C-alpha cells in the first residue's frame, strides 16, 4: 500500500490510556487498524501503573509497526492529581516512541477536535460520532479514550500529510468534516435569526 501512513495515537492516562492505530492514504481516507484501552488499577503503586502503560504501548508498536506516534498534549485542569498522572503517562509514551526510533508529536485537544470535526470545542459525543463516520465504523468507539486516541492519530496523519500547495482550510477537510461544519453554520444562523 504505497503512500499509506500508519499512525499510533495515544490518549494518555493512568487509569485508562487510549491507543488507536490508523492507516491514512494519500487521499486522506482513514482505515482502522487497531483500537484499545490500557487499564491500570487506581490503587496500584505509580511505578507499576506506568510500567503497565509502557508494556501496553510497546505491545501495540510491536504488533502494528506504526510509522509515527502522536500523543495528546497535557493541558491544565482543576484536578492537579489527574494532570500529573496524565503527564507521566504522556512522558512514557514519548519515551517509548524514541526507543523505537519513531517520530513523535503532541497535539492539543482543540487541535484534534478541529481536525476531526471542524470545530475546536466539539464535545466527546461529536468526536466519537465523527470518528465512526470517518473510519466507516458501525458504531462509535467506546470508551471515549479509545475514540480520542483514533482522533489524535487522524489529526497527526492529516497534518503530517500537509494540504496540497496553497489549499485553503476547507479544501483540507474530509467530506464528513465539511458536512459537519456546514450543518453547524446553518444551525448558528438559525439560532441568530430566532434571537
| Of 107, 108, 106, 113, nearest in space to 91 by CA | 106
Of residues 48, 72, 99, 138, which has the active-site annotation? 72
Residue 6 grid cell = 500508519
Of residues 11, 63, 65, 138, which has the active-site annotation? 11
Residue 72 annotated as binding site: yes
Tell me the backbone φ, ψ of residue 21, rounded to 5 degrees. -120, 130
Of residues 145, 148, 169, 184, which has the active-site annotation? 145
Cα 5 to Cα 18: distance, rounded to the nearest angstrom: 20
Cα 127 to Cα 119: distance, rounded to the nearest angstrom: 10
Residue 43 annotated as binding site: no
Residue 135, number of CB atoms within 10 A of its CB:
20
Which residues have C-beta within 8 Å of that of residue 16, sequence separation ≥ 6? 37, 38, 39, 143, 145
Decide if 11 is catalytic: yes
Residue 99 annotated as binding site: no
Decide if 72 is catalytic: yes
Decide if 43 is catalytic: no
Binding residues, as ranges, are 11, 72, 145
Positions marked catalytic:
11, 72, 145
Binding residues for Mg(2+), as ranges, are 11, 72, 145
Amino acid at each position: 500500500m504505497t503512500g499509506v501512513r500508519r499512525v499510533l495515537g495515544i490518549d494518555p492516562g493512568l487509569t485508562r490510556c487510549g491507543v488507536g492505530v490508523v492507516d491514512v492514504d494519500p487521499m486522506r481516507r482513514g482505515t482502522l487498524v487497531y483500537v484499545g484501552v490500557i487499564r491500570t488499577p487506581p490503587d496500584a503503586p505509580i511505578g507499576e501503573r506506568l510500567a503497565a502503560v509502557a508494556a501496553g504501548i510497546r505491545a501495540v508498536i510491536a504488533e502494528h509497526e506504526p510509522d509515527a506516534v502522536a500523543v495528546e498534549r497535557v493541558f491544565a485542569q482543576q484536578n492537579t492529581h489527574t494532570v500529573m498522572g496524565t503527564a507521566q503517562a504522556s512522558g512514557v509514551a514519548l519515551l517509548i516512541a524514541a526507543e523505537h526510533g519513531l517520530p513523535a508529536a503532541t497535539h492539543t485537544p482543540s487541535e484534534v477536535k478541529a481536525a476531526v470535526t471542524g470545530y475546536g470545542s466539539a464535545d466527546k459525543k461529536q468526536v466519537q460520532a465523527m470518528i465512526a463516520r470517518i473510519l466507516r465504523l458501525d458504531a462509535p468507539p467506546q470508551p471515549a479514550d479509545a475514540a480520542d486516541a483514533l482522533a489524535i492519530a487522524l489529526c497527526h496523519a492529516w497534518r503530517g500529510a500537509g494540504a496540497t500547495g496553497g489549499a485553503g482550510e476547507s479544501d483540507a477537510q474530509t467530506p464528513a468534516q465539511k458536512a459537519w461544519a456546514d450543518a453547524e453554520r446553518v444551525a448558528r444562523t438559525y439560532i441568530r435569526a430566532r434571537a
